[in-house]
Amino acid sequence: MYDVMVIGGGPAGLSAALYLARYDRQVLLFDAGRGRSTWHQINHNYLGFPGGVAARDLRELGRKQLEEYRQVRVLEHKVEAIAPAEGGFCAETQNGEWHARAVIFATGVIDHYPHFDGWDEYVGRSMFWCITCDGYGCKDACVVVVGNTDESAAEALQLKRFTDRMTVLTNSADCLITPKFQQRLERAGIPLVHDKIAEVIGENGQLKALCTKSGQRIELDQLFSQQGATPQSQLAAALGVELSHTGYIETDTEQKTNVPGVFAAGDVTRLFAQQVTTAVHEGGQAASAANYYLYPDDLKDD
């Protein structure tokens, strides 16, 4: 019986495990090796790393930091199911069952990038999803925003502060961009192409051109995907955790869910402000709340 099981080994989960270790709690961290921090991007927004830090390196540094604490056990397993059990919760993996008194979900999201041959080699190198993280890096570049919603059009309009060479490609049979936003794109001089990607030309993770199904060739240096993301909240929902209408885990300001003993942190908790900095903060806050939850009543001040 562990004190806390942390599900997810990205910045939020690593931060939670580290805080719990410093509280001298017995921690089980599940890291299936997936998520946004496993791509190739360089994070330039995290304080203390001049020149930026690769997301993969940040994960590696976090894992190395946890090695200092014998009370943390890391399992590179996927949690397939979780349920209430005597004294807490039981997680099922291919390697058996694991028990803990509390749970922190740091399961993140799955981004929906355009899929083409070798698409994953471009993620974080010349194909991005976040204007906050990577908008600055597209100064004077030739950029294509892929998406068929008003949010896609809005991102293109916001990216125009960095470059005038901008195109929106729906990459869908449907164009859900409203006339209002189509007019805004037109006024801004941003072409709107209602077509699908047929082929991508590039090498070594660097995009050069997109060829559409109608035969149009669009030159580009960078692509910003606005095709949405799916929060990985299924395990939490199975415990009765309340989700937002978009499927994100609902938490309070201490990262507590509506289920006692269950907490959540990182990208799985909200639609906006999905940053490494907020993930690390939320992981630490969830750990602190879980640590307090585990105290016997006579040690609590409420």
Contact 145, 220 (CB under 8 A): no
Q: How many CA atoms lie within 13 A of 113 on its CB side?
A: 21
d(CA 267, CA 224) in angstroms, rounded, equals 18
Contact 190, 160 (CB under 8 A): yes
Confidence of residue 232 (pLDDT cuts 50, 70, 90): very high
Contact 131, 145 (CB under 8 A): no
- As a whole number, mean pLDDT of residues 100-128 equals 96
pLDDT reported for residue 302: 73
The domain defined by 2-110+229-299 carries CATH number 3.30.450.60: no
What's the pLDDT tens digit per position in 57-113? 999 999 999 999 999 999 999 999 999 999 999 999 988 999 999 999 999 999 999
- Cβ partners under 8 Å of residue 238, min gap 6: 81, 82, 83
pLDDT reported for residue 271: 64
* CB atoms inside a 10 Å sphere around CB 99: 15
- As a whole number, mean pLDDT of residues 163-174 equals 96
Tell me, rounded to whole angstroms, the distance of Cα 241 from its chain centroid. 19
d(CA 266, CA 7) in angstroms, rounded, equals 11
The domain defined by 114-225 carries CATH number 3.40.50.620: no
The model's pTM: 0.95
Question: Domain residue spans in the chain?
Answer: 2-110+229-299, 114-225
Whole-angstrom CA distances from 240 to 237, 289, 291 are 5, 19, 21
Please, what is the average pLDDT of the chain?
Answer: 96
Confidence of residue 272 (pLDDT cuts 50, 70, 90): low
Q: Which of left, alpha, beta for 204 (phi over 0: left; psi -120 to 50: alpha)?
A: left
Amino acid at site 132: T
- As a whole number, mean pLDDT of residues 36-41 equals 92
